[in-house]
Amino acid sequence: MNKKSLLYIFLMVAALILSSCGPAATSTPAATQPSAATQPPAATEAPVVPKVLKIANTATFTTWDPVKSFSTEAAYMGNMYEQLLRINPPGSAEKFTPLLAERWESNADGTVWTFYLRPNVKFHDGEPLTAEAVKMSIEAAQDHGGASFIWWMVDSIEVVDDLTVKFNLSTSAPIDLIASSLYGAWIVSPKALEAAAADPNYFEAGLEAGTGPYMLESYKADQEIVFTRFDDYWGGWQSGQFDKVLVVIVGEAVTQQQMLEGGEVDLVTRMPVENYATFKDNPDYNYYEEPTFFNYVGFFNTLRPPLDNPAVRQALSYAIPYQDIITVGVNGLGTQSRGPVPQGVWPWSDQVNQYTYDLEMARTLLAAAGYPDGGFSLKLTYASENDVEAAFAPLIKDSFAQIGVDVTIEPMLWSQQWALSKSDPANAQDMFLLLYWPTYSDAGSDNLWSMFYYTKKPFFNLSYWNDPTFNALVDEAIAKTVTDPATSQAKYIEAMNLLVDQAPGLFFMDVTYTYVIPKYIEGFEYNLNYPFTQYFFYQLSTTR
């Protein structure tokens, strides 16, 4: 083609492109300016030398919206926001610590709960804490929260007066426990809630509007977050506490370890499991091994033969090398589970049975069920992001191979594993490995209900199991939690033993966490109930 037509074509194309550009529909937020919508209400007197706490964390923000929050950002939400109350570590003198609520009470059958709020509390944006704010926050959670289901029994929330809130329930439930949840229970400034109602992405630029002791100062996605103290925090401040907290996002466990040893950070959240032992006898650090309420469970697909036969499932339960899984998966930092409820959480009980690793027993049971040398194959899926599961899945495969059962291991992204299990239960995986934790500290209405109670569309019931006896026991236990805890516990124990006996799932281990705290950091108190908030900054102080 000749030069003129070439030029002509070029100009046409250019004109076409330029004409489709109008004024930008959405303006991208200023990229490098940290945006903090919240300013401290009063001018702060800058401390002479700011005390900075430096933490390396793997946790990033999947969302900044406290209502929608349902993931790892809880590590930071727990420091910027507060609930009405907080549940204390098991074995504490008091069950709860009052936070935004000073005291609370319920009626006799636990269907009406009244909370009396602390006076003179301010949000970071200057708004006062009122009953209206609480009502708006909880209603928002009910409506579109990540953990909205925890409030399913709340019929209405009443504002009795400025500092009094009443919850009216359709059925008896422990609202004090629910309100202490790590998800869906944060109290948010009404101004922010209104803004979020108008613009669902309001918080995502990196905004917060809580009452907690620390405010957001700056945020670089996937890199670092800086928190600064909220001078008007109702709890007040003492010397030694930190003025600022710097969180560095470091995905690599070994890098975190290097940073701790090199003094670049004060606290870490994850180190290679094998290397924790090197800190045990180190005089510069305090070493803690603590139970958590994370556990690893497995689901058998009870819709697919031969897994529809309880005897087969029991046989397979005897073929799991429980101790090896703990050794290899978490370097010994775990205990074999008793059912799906982790130790330390209601309604755990040592009266719940557990299987042992007994291949002979497995073979006998299999033979009795009609599979003398195994002879069938199973597809096992696990989340490829989880390196503990990646480590112990081969152990299951090898062990089952010894009784003639062939296992194909299929790692996939968690979201894919999840989607597969929901798509077509009859043809989904045969075995599903899962890391679980209850949303709040009630593993009866969470773990037992979520994982094995029958619902038409499975929530976490990825064994697709439907046992009316179990369902009835759990229903009764949940109903009596507040009014008759003793009976509730008894029913739960019955349900759990039924579960273990029928074996729709495998109960591998409860995870133990290790904490390595340098000796100059004081005030650390481990709270099993808030696994994703490893550190409450407010509790910590430095002797340096």
Partner 1 sequence: MTAIPALSVEPELQSTRTFRHVLSVIVRDPLSLASTIVIVLFILIAIFAYQVAPYPAEGAGRTNVANTMLAPSAEHILGADRLGRDMLSRVIMGARPALIVPIGVVIFAVLIGAPLGAIAGYKGGWVDEVIMRITDLFLAFPSLLLAMAITSALGRGLQNAAIALIISWWPWYTRLVRGVTISLRERYFVEAAQAIGVRDSVIILRHILPNTISPILVQATVDLGTVILAMGGLAFLGLGTQPPAPDWGLMVSEGRNYILHQWWISTFSGLAIFIVVLAFNLLGDTLRDIFDPRQYR
Partner 2 sequence: MLSKLEFVLRRLLSSIFVLIGVSIITFFLSRVVPTNAAALYIGPKARPEDIERVSKQLGLDQSLPVQYAIYMRDLLHGDLGTSIGTKRPVLTEIIDRAPASLELLFTGMFLAALIGVPLGVLSARWQGKPLDVAARTISIFGVSMPAFYLGLLLQILFFRNLHWLPLAGRVSTDLRFTNPIEPITNFLILDALLTRNWVALKDAVIHIVLPALTLAAYPIGLIARMTRAAMLEVLEQDYIRTARAYGIKDVIITYLYALKNAISPTLTVIGLTVAFALTGTFFVEIIFNWPGLGLFTVRSLLNVDYPAIMGMTLFGATAYVIINLIVDLLQAWIDPRISLK
Cβ of residue 53: shortest distance to partner 2, in angstroms?
11
Q: Which amino acid is at 429?
A: Q
Q: Which of 221, 394, 469, 539 binds partner 1 (CB under 8 A)?
A: 394
Smaller CB distance to partner 1: residue 321 or 404?
321
Q: What angle do CA 425, 426, 427 make, to 5 degrees?
A: 90
Rounded to whole angstroms, the Cα distance separating 177 from 448 reads 17
In degrees, rounded to 5, the angle at the alpha carbon of residue 486 between the alpha carbons of residues 483 and 488 is: 70
**Pick 305 or 394: Cβ nearer partner 1:** 394
Does 463 interact with partner 2 (rule: CB under 8 A)? no
CA distance 341 to 525: 23
Residue 406 interacts with partner 1 (CB under 8 A): yes or no: no
Query: What does the DSSP assignment read for 421-455?
Result: HHH-GGGS-SEEEEEE--SSS-TIIIIIHHHHS--
Q: How far, rounded to the nearest angstrom, does the alpha carbon of residue 469 sit from its chain's CA centroid?
A: 29
Contact, 304 vs 312, CB < 8 A?
no
359 sits near partner 1 (criterion: CB under 8 A): no
Residue from 43, 238, 239, 262 touching partner 2 (CB under 8 A): that is 262
47 binds, among partner 1, partner 2, none (CB under 5 to 8 A by kind): none
Query: How buried is 324 (Cβ within 10 angstroms: 0-12 exposed, 13-18 middle, 19+ buried)?
Result: middle
Q: Which of 59, 129, 141, 147 binds partner 2 (CB under 8 A)?
A: 147
Alpha-helical regions (H) of 105-183: 131-144, 175-178
With CB under 5 to 8 Å by kind, the binding choice for 275 among partner 1, partner 2, none is partner 1
Q: Which of 248, 312, 431, 443 binds partner 2 (CB under 8 A)?
A: 248
Q: Which stretch binds partner 2 (CB under 8 A): 250-258, 283-291, 403-411, 530-538?
A: 250-258
∠ Cα 115 121 127 (to 5°): 110
Give the tokens for residue 207.
Answer: 């905004």
510, containing H or E segment: strand 505-518
Instruction: Looking at 145-184, list the stretches that DSSP marks H as alpha helix, in order from N- to C-terminal side.
Output: 175-178
Contacts of 468 (CB under 8 A, 6+ apart): none
Of 101, 131, 185, 259, the one binding partner 2 (CB under 8 A) is 259
Minimum distance from CB of 514 to partner 1 (Å)? 15
* Given 29, 50, 272, 372, the residue binding partner 1 (CB under 8 A): 272
Parallel, antiparallel, or unpaired: how do β-strands 52-57 and 267-268 relate?
Answer: parallel
- For residue 199 the two structure tokens come to 């613009």
Contact assessment for residue 425 and residue 303, using Cβ atoms and an 8 Å cutoff:
yes
The letter for the amino acid at 325 is I
- Asked if 217 interacts with partner 2 (CB under 8 A), we say no
Provide, rounded to whole angstroms, the least separation between the CB of residue 34 and partner 2.
Answer: 10
Nearest to 251 by CA among 449, 149, 385: 385
Selection from partner 2, partner 1, none that 398 binds (CB < 5 to 8 A by kind) is partner 1
Among residues 284, 398, 501, 525, which is the contact residue for partner 1, using CB under 8 A?
A: 398
Tell me which of partner 2, partner 1, none is bound by residue 58, counting a contact when its beta carbon lies within the kind-specific cut-off of 5 to 8 angstroms.
none
- In the DSSP assignment, the letter for residue 199 is -
* 117 bridge partner residues: 101
Q: Residue 148 CB, nearest distance to partner 2 (Å)?
A: 9
Region near partner 2 per CB under 8 A, out of 143-151, 152-160, 161-169, 170-178: 143-151
Q: Which of 324, 358, 475, 476 binds partner 1 (CB under 8 A)?
A: 324
Q: How far apart are CA 481 and CA 488, in angstroms?
A: 6
User: Does residue 75 interact with partner 2 by CB under 8 A?
Assistant: no
- 531: β partners: none
Stretch that binds partner 1, among 93-101, 253-261, 371-379, 424-432 (CB under 8 A): 253-261
CB of 285 to partner 1, least distance (A): 17
User: Does 424 engage in binding with partner 2 (CB under 8 A)?
Assistant: no
Which amino acid would we find at residue 169?
L
Residues that bind partner 2 (CB under 8 A): 3, 6-7, 9-10, 13, 17, 20-22, 24-26, 28-29, 31-32, 50, 52, 54, 60-64, 70-71, 146-147, 149, 201, 204-205, 220-224, 226, 244, 246, 248, 250-252, 255, 258-259, 262, 264-265, 385, 413-416, 418-419, 422, 439, 457, 459-460
Residues that bind partner 1 (CB under 8 A): 252-254, 257-258, 272, 274-275, 321, 324, 327-328, 384, 390-391, 393-395, 398, 409, 411-412
